[in-house]
Amino acid sequence: MSEYIPSPRDWVREQVELYESSGGKEGTTLRETGLPVIIVTNTGNKTGALRKTPLMKAVDGSNYILVASTGGAPKHPVWYFNLKANPSVKIQDGSDIYDMNVKEITDSDERKRLWEIAVDAYPPYHEYQQKTTRVIPIFLAEPAS
Ligand code: F42
């Protein structure tokens, strides 16, 4: 079992702690928005350590849509590179935990379809895309068979 290294960002680390320690009953929304959050456990592409990344919950059937927005920052988040290097993740959604595999969606029609679902789930993604010149990456997480 790899070592877990918590996020250096206080609010992110605290959300993960509350989410996990309550068994997915508390800390499950983004602050006051009331919109649901999932926790994606991924593997550091350099350290091999476990990283736990809260993301907004957006679903397509039994799959999850992961949006590497970081608030419209100019650079991709580190977890983007972790998922590219190791697509095997765990996703906690409330009290449920799933083993999943992710793939980046590059096909433009499929990306557009998933982007619209994601923006419906969390409208600020639209503004984040306006803020940055990078095309915000999208992953689809599917249950590991
Ligand atoms: N971020 C999003 O991009 N999309 C969302 O929908 C989203 C929702 C959300 C909801 C709640 C919440 O609390 C946070 C939310 N965030 C969302 C923020 C998200 O959880 C991440 O904090 C954010 O995307 C930044 O991700 P990051 O992977 O860039 O995190 C940084 C701060 C970080 O943890 N950096 C680590 C560090 O120590 O600086 C590195 C972690 C790492 O993986 N290191 C690699 C390794 O091998 O271990 C090597 C890194 C390298 O050098 O290449």
Residue ranges of domains in the chain, CATH in brackets: 10-143 (2.30.110.10)
Q: How confident is the model at residue 30 (pLDDT cuts 50, 70, 90)?
A: very high
List the residue whose alpha carbon is closest to atom 26 of ligand 1: 77
Q: Residues 6 or more apart from 40 whose CB is under 8 A from it?
A: 52, 53, 54, 55, 66, 79, 89, 90, 91, 141
Q: How confident is the model at residue 145 (pLDDT cuts 50, 70, 90)?
A: confident
Is pTM, for the whole model, over 0.95? Answer: yes
For residues 6-35, average pLDDT: 95
Residue 97 has pLDDT above 80, yes or no: yes
Q: Residues 6 or more apart from 74 whose CB is under 8 A from it?
A: 132, 133, 134
Q: Tell me which residue of 27, 114, 32 sits closest to 67, measured CA to CA.
A: 114
DSSP-assigned letters across all residues of 79-117:
HHHHHHH--EEEEEETTEEEEEEEEE---HHHHHHHHHH
pLDDT in tens, 103-140: 999 999 999 999 999 999 999 999 999 999 999 999 99
Q: How far apart are CA 106 and CA 114, in angstroms?
A: 11
Tokens, residue 21: 């320690």
Pocket test for ligand 1, best of 78, 104, 126 (most atoms within 8 A of CB): 78
101 lines ligand 1 (CB under 6 A): no
Q: Which atom of ligand 1 is nearest to the CA of 79?
A: 28
136 lines ligand 1 (CB under 6 A): no
Burial class (CB in 10 A: 0-12, 13-18, 19+), 60: middle
Work out the end-to-end distance of the chain between its first and last CA atoms, rounded to an integer number of angstroms. Answer: 21
